Every structure is written in structure tokens, then in C-alpha cells.
Amino acid sequence: MGKKVAFLQGNEAAAHGALYAGCNFFAGYPITPSTEVAEVLSAELPKIGGKFIQMEDEIGAMAALLGGALAGSKALTSTSGPGLSLKQELIGYGCIAEIPCVIYNVMRGGPSTGMPTGPSQSDVMCAKWGTHGDHPAICLVPASVQETYEEVIRAFNLSEKYRTPVMVMPDEIVAHMRERIVFPEKGEIEVIDRKAPTVPPEQYKPYDTSFGDVPPLAAFGSEYRFHVTGLNKMQDGFPTTKAAVVQEEEERQVRKVEGNVDDIVKFEEYLLDDAEIVVVAFGSTSRSARYAVNEARTEGIKAGLFRIITYWPFPEKQLLALAQRGVKAFITPEMNLGMTHGLVKGCTEGKAPVLGIFRVDGEPINPGQILDKMKEVK
């Protein structure tokens, strides 16, 4: 029997990916260009006994998301730039309280209300630094409908495995375009669930590091009773200002992600073996880049593509290795004013020039622009 195929939007694929991963709770507030995720899940979740709730605003939605996730659900919200800004306070809460959940954010023009129906890639810094303080950050940036489906599953897996909020950030083009998708069979893609406590309720501590950097999480409201706060906390969940504990806890929270970059960082290398010009791109822009690389090759230009799939943690090690191997130049096309450009410059330590192509007019970067930039490289 053939696999089930469909012709879907990125957002619709995201909703179905969430269901595959075991999502049984959605809390959100509709916003262009992400609303289709809520639309699909409002129809599908009740069928499987899940819960869908439209809250009064984006902060309320984030609060409901954390509550649902803490109570044992696999929880998703979807939003776009202005909504992401509003959620930030509670995203930080999710990081410090270590609550696994997935935030799907479609990047549209910004700042503020910006261009609601225009594509953008300018929320990537907000994914890491939108909420204040040191905290772990994972952000995945799919480039196709199929990959959006799969990356949403991976986002759930990473959030459960590392007990932390994870973001998936397609740009508006990926979120709204339609492509053929082949659905995986049940069991074909691994689905990870959070570690449950192995101790009886009276011995349970929600941040018990004797189980490693990622302590087991009991369902809040079950017979396991514990305290949750946004303050720096001890292993039993109660607040502390004890210097050594706070230092160690902060470092552990960040280490959950930074100590496991090889497990989390995902990328694709295309024609890089002999590449003298390396385009570093993600999302829909990486599709323009691949087109441009193919064109360049027919003209005898040795170009290749490094496609970012995990934006945070940033693939610093891989890009530095490319720079050390020796390339003539990196090119960073992106629908923002240089966010990735700065990161690539930083991690390649000046070993090769980094040329940027920045666009914030609501139009995609076309292959011709990238090809022209390649020709500027001497």
C-alpha cells in the first residue's frame, strides 16, 4: 500500500506534524500568517480527545500553553512576530521553570504590526534574545512543507528530551506555500516523551539533578505535588538566592542545550566539497540559494550551499570548519538586515569575507540577486 500523500500548506503540515508527535493541547490567539495551524487543530484535536483553546490574547495563550504542558500535555501554540513579542515574558518563565512546549512562529514583516502578509526572516534573534536573561534556546527553520511537518515533530522531541520550550520558525513563504507531502507511517519517525519520575511522590523534586541535567518532570496536578516559580529555584522548586545554587542552576539550564549541540544542530550541505563560494541560507531563501548555486555551477562558478535547519544553537563549529578549510567568500542572503550575516562573521573569525544580501521589503530574495553577488567575489 502506498503512503498517504496530500497537497498542503506549510502551516497545515505543521498542525499534522504536531499530531504525529502526540500533541494533545493547543492554546493560541489567531494571527496572520499562522492562523491555519489553529484552524486545523481546532478541528482535529477534539477528535482525539485533545483540547483546543483560543485565549483572550497572546500572553494568555502562552500562559495556557505552559499550564497545559506542565500538567502533562504535549502543547503547541502558533503565532507571528507581534504575538511572539507579547509571549516573551512567559517564554522566559518556560525556560527557567523548564517546561517542555513548542512555539510555532511564522515570520512576517516587522517590527510591530509591520507587514502582516509579507514574508520575513527577522524574528530569528527574538527566538534567542526576545526574553531577558541567560537561557537555553532552540529554534528550527524549515524550508519546505515536508520539512515543516518533520521539524515540528523534531521540535516536540527536543522539547521533551531537554525539558525546554522549542521554537519552529518558518518564514511566511514556507508557511503559506503548498507542496506535495508524503505522510510517514506510525512509528517511522521516533516520538520522544519526557522522562517521568521514578521515585514516589513524597521523594519527588522537580529539579532533581541526581538524574542528570534534565530532571524528570511529573504531571502537575497529579499525586506528585511540587512548587513552580519564575524565581531562581532550588531542586525542590522553591526560590533561592543562594549564590552557588543560582550559578549552578543557571549554567545547567543553558548546558542542557549548549552541551548537546551535536544532537540538536541540523544542517544540509549542498555541493560544498569543492565550493569556493559558500551561500549560508535558511527557509525559503535557501531555495533561492540552491537555484542560484545550480545556475552558478553551469557557468563554472564553484558555489555551494550551507543550509541552516537548526538556527539556535547556531552551527558555529561547521561554519568555522568551512572557513578554516579555505573558501573565497560566504554569502548570507536573508529577509532581514543582517542577523545571520553577523553570526557568520562572528563564528568564521575573519578567515573569509562575508557578503550580505538583505531584503525587508516584503519581497523574496530571488536567485538572480544571489548569482549577481557571487559574481562580485574576486
Q: Which residues bind other proteins (CB under 8 A)?
A: 5, 7, 32, 116-118, 173, 176-180, 284, 287-288, 290-291, 294, 298, 364, 366-368
Q: How far is the CB of 178 from other proteins (least distance, A)?
A: 4
Cell 521539524 sits on residue: 151
**DSSP-based three-state secondary structure for 267:** strand
DSSP for residue 378:
-
Q: How far is the CB of 52 from other proteins (least distance, A)?
A: 24
- What are the two backbone dihedrals, phi and then psi, of residue 134, each rounded to the nearest 5 degrees? -75, 135
Q: How far is the CB of 74 from other proteins (least distance, A)?
A: 30
Q: How far is the CB of 288 from other proteins (least distance, A)?
A: 5
- What are the two backbone dihedrals, phi and then psi, of residue 276, each rounded to the nearest 5 degrees? -95, -25
Q: How far is the CB of 170 from other proteins (least distance, A)?
A: 12
Q: How far is the CB of 76 from other proteins (least distance, A)?
A: 24
**DSSP-based three-state secondary structure for 142:** coil
Q: How far is the CB of 286 from other proteins (least distance, A)?
A: 9
Q: How far is the CB of 225 from other proteins (least distance, A)?
A: 48
Residue 340's H or E segment, with its range, is helix 339-347
Give the residue with the Cβ less far from other proteins, 151 or 171: 171
Give the residue with the Cβ less far from other proteins, 176 or 205: 176
Tell how many helices (H) and how many strands (E) occur in the chain.
13, 16
Give the residue with the Cβ less far from other proteins, 211 or 291: 291
Contact 249, 233 (CB under 8 A): yes
Cα three-residue angle 265-358-8, rounded to 5 degrees? 60
Give the residue with the Cβ less far from other proteins, 35 or 235: 35
Residues 6+ apart with CB under 8 A from 159: 100, 101, 102, 138, 165, 166
Q: Which of 124, 191, 138 is nearest to 167 (CA)?
A: 138
Give the residue with the Cβ less far from other proteins, 161 or 290: 290
Give the residue with the Cβ less far from other proteins, 160 or 171: 171
Contact 232, 96 (CB under 8 A): yes
Radius of gyration of the chain (CA): 21
Sign of CA dihedral 367, 372, 376, 378: positive
Give the residue with the Cβ less far from other proteins, 178 or 325: 178
Give the residue with the Cβ less far from other proteins, 9 or 159: 9
Pairing of the two strands 329-334 and 277-281: parallel
Cis peptide before 142 (omega within 30 of 0): no
